[in-house]
Structure 1
Amino acid sequence: MLTHTHVRPIEWGDCDPAGIVFHPRYLAYFDHCTNLLFAEAGFDLASLQERFAVVGYPVVDLRGRFLVPCRYGDEVRIETRVAEFRNTSFDVRHLLHRGEVLAVEATVTRVWAGPHPHDSQRLQGRPVPETVRMALGRSDGEGVEPRR
């Protein structure tokens, strides 16, 4: 699987009054890392929208475990990969380490979404293109198998 690794410092603005990362900030980190993963695979959001006529890949579910707090000044490493593809949705797995310790793990379910053909206020899930599946799949050239 293609895995993107992103290293970043914890900044003062990421922290709550107790001096630890305010939990929604992790979600912003993970969203950024998902975009970086897609860009590394050759699908930055602007070209993805143009090439596939989609809006993007909005979040429809997320699950996380906060194991160890991170504080201002810590340097963290976030590993991001697609864990599973389904027809129109996929799970992105994020592991955030503080040093060698796993601090946060999360799985975010996203939908490959385009404009709804009959209602401009809605989105509609679309099948994830095979080229995207292959690019985000295994490093040995085999794509992630979709679940049917």
Structure 2
Amino acid sequence: MFVNRRDVQIQWGDCDPANIVYYPRYFEMFDDSTSIMFEAAGFSKQDIIKKYGLVGIPMVDTRAKFYVASTHGDWIAIETRVESFKRSSFEVIHKVFKGQVLAIEAFETRVLVGRHPDDPARLKSAAVPPEIIKKFMQG
């Protein structure tokens, strides 16, 4: 299974007045981590959109469990992987580590969408290409 790991230093602007990371900032990090994972696997978002005629890969569901807070200057490691694929959607899991401690588990569901063939003003889900599934499931 393909897993991408990246180190992130918490910046001043990531924190609230209590000097802990303001939770929406984590969701920005997770969005970046998904894009970075795809790029590391050889599938940049721009290339996928162009090659398969997609409009985008929007997030349709997300949630997180927070265990340990981080503050300005801390280093965290974000491990990102695709947990599973369905016809047009996939589940992503992000695990955030502060040192060796699991600090956050986050989950997102994303869907590949393109233009509806009968009405280009509407969107329609698109099947996940087999080569993408193969790369993420086999590593």
Distance in 1 separating the partners of 2:109 and 2:54: 17
Q: Distance in 2 between matches of 1:56 and 1:119?
A: 14
> Displaced runs of 4+ in structure 1, greater than 4 A?
none
Q: Distance in 2 between matches of 1:43 and 1:56?
A: 13
Counterpart of 1:109 in structure 2: which amino acid?
A: T
Aligned residue number for residue 143 of structure 1: none
Matches within 5 A, 1:20-99: 20-99=20-99
- Residue 56 of structure 1 deviates from its aligned partner by 2.3
Provide, for residues 64-84 of structure 1, a one-character-per-residue CA deviation record: whole Å limited to 9, x for no partner.
Answer: 101111110000000000001
How many residues align? The count is: 138
Distance in 2, Cα, partners of 1:115 & 1:75: 41
Q: Under a length normalisation based on structure 1, what TM-score does the superposition of the two structures give? A: 0.89
Cα shift at 1:130: 0.1
What displacement does 1:119 show? 4.6
- Give 1:45 shift: 1.3
Give the distance between the partners of 2:20 and 2:115, measured in 1 at CA: 39
Could you tell me which residue of structure 2 aligns to residue 126 of structure 1? 126
Report the counterpart of residue 13 of structure 2 in structure 1.
13
Q: Percent identity?
A: 41
Q: How far 1:138 moved relative to its partner?
A: 1.9
* CA deviation after TM superposition for structure 1 residue 123, in Å: 2.3
- Taking the aligned partners of 2:15 and 2:134, their CA distance within structure 1 comes to 38
Q: Deviations over 1:77-123 (max 9, x none)?
A: 00000001011111000000111111110110000111233152x42
Letter in 1 for 2:47: S
Aligned counterparts of 1:111 and 1:41: Cα–Cα separation in 2: 18
Give the 3-state SS of the residue equivalent to 2:54 in structure 1: coil
TM-score, scaled to structure 2: 0.95
In the alignment, structure 1 segments of 5+ residues that lack a partner are 140-148
Where structure 2 has 5 or more consecutive residues not aligned to the other structure, the ranges are none
Distance 1:130 1:93 in 2: 20
* RMSD between aligned residues: 1.0
Q: Secondary structure at the match of 2:137?
A: coil
